[in-house]
Structure 1
Amino acid sequence: MDADLQYLEDRITALAQLCQQLRTENVALRETVVALKSDNRRLLDKVEGAKARVETLLGQFPAEALPEDVE
């Protein structure tokens, strides 16, 4: 019976350690997600800015100077 209790105690200890490890990993992953979302938003803003600048530049050309598929 002592062996069974020791086995159970060892298993519970291992489970508690795993639970703590997973909590720590979860926190780190959440922080990574926040950072990646912020970076993604920044990159999307840059793409939108570049798109607006290209559209402005294209708007400065006379229509007959542009290839047909750009209009």
Structure 2
Amino acid sequence: MTRLPELADRIDRLVLSHEELQRAHALLAAQLEAVTAERDSLKSRLSAARARVDALLDRLPADAAPQGPTE
């Protein structure tokens, strides 16, 4: 019956490993939520900036269209 203590030790290690993985998963889930929120905020800011640039371009007179590079 020496296998019983070995199995008990292995189960203890598995439980500890499982708990550690659960903590790591929770941290990763929180990080994912944070970076997803940051991405969404940046996409929104980019969209607003594009709209402002487009509005400014629409206000330019037709003869003020950009020419090629000047040297």
Identity %: 31
TM-score of the superposed pair, with normalisation by structure 1: 0.85
In the alignment, what sits opposite 1:65? 64
Deviations 1:4-40 (CA, angstroms, capped at 9, x unpaired)? 1111111101000010001111111111111111101
What is the CA–CA distance in structure 2 between the aligned matches of 1:52 and 1:14, rounded to whole Å? 57
What is the CA–CA distance in structure 2 between the aligned matches of 1:66 and 1:13, rounded to whole Å? 73
In the alignment, what sits opposite 1:46? 45
TM-score of the superposed pair, with normalisation by structure 2: 0.85
What is the CA–CA distance in structure 1 between the aligned matches of 2:33 and 2:24, rounded to whole Å? 14
In the alignment, what sits opposite 1:33? 32
Extract structure 1 runs of 4+ deviating beyond 3 A: none
Q: Which consecutive unaligned segments of at least 5 residues does structure 2 have?
A: none
Structure with the bigger RCO (C-alpha within 8 Å, sep 6+) is: 1
User: Given residue 19 of structure 1, which amino acid in structure 2 is its aligned partner?
Assistant: H
Q: Which consecutive unaligned segments of at least 5 residues does structure 1 have?
A: none
Deviations 1:37-64 (CA, angstroms, capped at 9, x unpaired)? 1101110111011101100110011123
What is the CA–CA distance in structure 2 between the aligned matches of 1:53 and 1:63, rounded to whole Å? 18
